[in-house]
Structures are given as structure tokens and as C-alpha cells.
């Protein structure tokens, strides 16, 4: 297995140490590239450099993922957000093996809530049901918070569309499927997610923001301006990590 993990960040110093520690424990070892947005104002660069992890200049999630992928060397690209956490040290290896075994070009994981709050647990249960249903009807709908992609497929797609401000991950997967690539849920693989925005904004606002974004995409096309959705909700922040455990 040859895998590279790409993590796009902006002001994520509060969460990066936790994720980087979990990635350092992966067996076999994986390459990690952190793409840091140029307008980051916290200690993300210092933390990454101190940990000996390679970093590049990023930008939006799409720009960051593309920048990290360009310098990564793995045959499989693993895109993770700063607010997710591998559940164990065999996570990447198990997911990559599943990608090959299931004959997939793009693989997604199911989500498990890091926090124990009812709102967080409900949100991820709902999202798991949504992505399972979308997969079953041949219209995969996966978040970029955790995606496994074969490098040749990512390169053939030209990466994520950097002009899209939100839901660039959904467009990426849909574009891949439209070009004949296989996307699916990895059996027996889950990622732990920190529902920080649900805690900060509430379940209702979180669900409404996602619904409003999807309605806009269906009526008007891809989202190029966060103002049409909820610009404050989609800001990348780094509040204290959830007290829950993985």
C-alpha cells in the first residue's frame, strides 16, 4: 500500500495535533501533506513544521486538496478534514485494501460522532443514511472530509473544481461517476467526526444550511459565493475539541 493523506486547513491549530498524532500512528506509515490557507492566522504552520510534517500553501478546501495532491507521492490519495479522526492505527490500510477489493476508484467511509450529544449523533446517522441511499440509486453523495481516491482518477478529473466555494466535494464525486469511474462506500470502514459546528450553531441551523446549499445547487448550479448559503456557518474555525473519545 502506498497512500498519501492530504489535509486542507485554515486556522485549525486547535484540532491539527490530534489528527496528526493519529496519522503518525498509522501502520504501515503514510505520507501526510497539510495544505495551509495563506490567510491562516493561528499557529498551524508552526505546529506542522514542529511535527516534521510537510506542508504547502493551500486556500479553499478545493485549492488545498489539489495543492497537497500535487506534491503527494502515494498511489492512493486520502483526503481528510481537520475535524475527523481515524478510529485506530489500521484505518488507512483497511480502507485502501477495501478500495482495491471492491474495485472502486473513489471510496467513502461512514461517519461516527466523536461527541455524545443527541444532535451530533442524529446528524451523522442521518448523513450515513443519506449517502447509503444515494449510493444505492447510483448517485453517490460524499463529503470531502474523508475520501479515498486512486491517484490516476484524481489526475484524470483535473482535481477538485477550485472555482466552487462550497460542495466542491459533491461535484467532484458526481463528475467522476459521470465519467465512468466507480464510487462507493467502503464496507466496514468508518471515520470519527467532531460535530463542532453542530455544537456551535445547533442542529437546526446545520441542517438548514446543508438543505439551502443543495437547493441552490439543484436550481442554479454550483455554489461560487458562500453568500447565497450562510457565509458565517461555513467559516472554518477551530474551537476546542470535543470531550468525547474515539
Q: How far apart are the first and last CA of the chain?
A: 25
Q: pLDDT truncated to tens, each residue of the chain (246 aa)?
A: 699 999 999 999 999 999 999 999 999 999 999 999 999 999 999 999 888 999 999 999 999 999 999 999 999 999 999 999 999 999 999 999 999 999 999 999 999 999 999 999 999 999 999 999 999 999 998 999 999 999 999 999 999 999 998 899 999 999 999 999 999 999 999 999 999 989 988 999 889 888 888 888 889 888 887 776 665 655 544 333 443 443
- 3-state SS, residue 146: strand
- 3-state SS, residue 44: helix
- pTM for this model (two decimals): 0.91
Looking at the DSSP assignment, which residues form a beta bridge with residue 148?
78, 107
Q: According to the model, what pLDDT value does residue 37 have?
A: 96
Close Cβ partners of 77 (under 8 Å, ≥ 6 residues apart): 3, 4, 6, 69, 148, 149, 150, 151, 154
Q: According to the model, what pLDDT value does residue 159 have?
A: 98
Q: According to the model, what pLDDT value does residue 187 have?
A: 97
Q: According to the model, what pLDDT value does residue 226 have?
A: 75
User: What is residue 242's DSSP assignment?
Assistant: P
Close Cβ partners of 173 (under 8 Å, ≥ 6 residues apart): 106, 108, 140, 141, 142, 147, 183
Q: According to the model, what pLDDT value does residue 239 have?
A: 39
As assigned by CATH, the class of the 3-196 domain is alpha beta
Amino acid at each position: 500500500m502506498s497512500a498519501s493523506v492530504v489535509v486542507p486547513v485554515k486556522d485549525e491549530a486547535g484540532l491539527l495535533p490530534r489528527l496528526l498524532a493519529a496519522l503518525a500512528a498509522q501502520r504501515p506509515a503514510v505520507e501526510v501533506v497539510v495544505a495551509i490557507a495563506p490567510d491562516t492566522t493561528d499557529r498551524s504552520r508552526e505546529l506542522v513544521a514542529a511535527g516534521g510534517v510537510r506542508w504547502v500553501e493551500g486556500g479553499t478546501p478545493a485549492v488545498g486538496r489539489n495543492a497537497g495532491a500535487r506534491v503527494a507521492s502515494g498511489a492512493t490519495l486520502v483526503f481528510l478534514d481537520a475535524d475527523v479522526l481515524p478510529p485506530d492505527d489500521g484505518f488507512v490500510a483497511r480502507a485502501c485494501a477495501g478500495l482495491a477489493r471492491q474495485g472502486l476508484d473513489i471510496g467513502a467511509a461512514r461517519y461516527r460522532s466523536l461527541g455524545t450529544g443527541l444532535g451530533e449523533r442524529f446528524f451523522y446517522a442521518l448523513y450515513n443514511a443519506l449517502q447509503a441511499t444515494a449510493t444505492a440509486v447510483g448517485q453517490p453523495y460524499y463529503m470531502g472530509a474523508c475520501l479515498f481516491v486512486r491517484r490516476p482518477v484524481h489526475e484524470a478529473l483535473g482535481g477538485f473544481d477550485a472555482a466552487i466555494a462550497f460542495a466542491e466535494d459533491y461535484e467532484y464525486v458526481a463528475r467522476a461517476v459521470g465519467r465512468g469511474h466507480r464510487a462507493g462506500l467502503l464496507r466496514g470502514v468508518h471515520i470519527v467526526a467532531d460535530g463542532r459546528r453542530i455544537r456551535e450553531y445547533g442542529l437546526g441551523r446545520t441542517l438548514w444550511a446543508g438543505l439551502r446549499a443543495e437547493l441552490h445547487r439543484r436550481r442554479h448550479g454550483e455554489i461560487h459565493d458562500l453568500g447565497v448559503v450562510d457565509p458565517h456557518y461555513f467559516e472554518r474555525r477551530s474551537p476546542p475539541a470535543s470531550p468525547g473519545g474515539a
